[in-house]
Amino acid sequence: MRIKSVVKVMNFHSLLRVDSSRKKAEKYFAYEKELTDFVDNILNNRNLIMDKKLLKLNKNKKPLNIYIR
């Protein structure tokens, strides 16, 4: 009877960790979608003048660095 209680608690803690990891991963799905759309707009845009405006840096603002692993 005592082992059964321990196993239940261990399973519960395991489920909490899995749920926490799932929530963290879902939080980054929105970032992934936005980055994918942004890169897709740049790569598939046939209007070169618009591309130059999109890629032009504003020297007064902080740079945005995107690292993809």
Report pTM.
Answer: 0.42
Q: Tokens for 15, please give them.
A: 């489920």
Q: Is 55:42 a contact under the CB 8 Å cutoff? A: yes
CA distance 67 to 3: 47
User: What residues have CB less than 8 Å from 45, skipping those under 6 apart?
Assistant: 51, 54
Q: What is the pLDDT of residue 57?
A: 62
CA-to-CA distance for 38 and 32, rounded, in angstroms?
10
Residue 49 has pLDDT above 80, yes or no: no
Q: What is the pLDDT of residue 66?
A: 72
